[in-house]
Amino acid sequence: MLATDVTTAKGVIKTMTTNSLGILGARANAECLEDRLGIMLGDGKTAFDRTKRVDATNREAYEEYSRHYFSGDGGHAGGRWRT
């Protein structure tokens, strides 16, 4: 991080955390809207297929995140199992 003092380090960590949560929140909101819209329009089969596809995409994104930040595949990292 190369922070020169504690205050700068805290600011960087807060910004990184806020950005991560914002991205996750936007993704979750889009998934919810997409799923509910398919169900409300009466196309349940397509909504179910889309949900399966989104779940697979989320798993891939989580594994990529885990590889980048934890040097693992999301299976076993940091001494505990991740699901």
**Residue whose tokens read 């399966």:** 52
φ, ψ for residue 73, nearest 5 deg: -105, 15
Lookup result for tokens 């700068």: 8
Task: Quick: pLDDT tens for 33-74.
Answer: 877 777 788 777 777 787 788 788 888 888 887 777 776 555
Measured distance CA(34)–CA(28) in Å, rounded: 10
The domain limits of the chain are 6-81
Reported pTM: 0.38
- Which pLDDT score, from 0 to 100, does residue 82 have? 53
pLDDT band at 25 (very low <50, low <70, confident <90, very high): confident
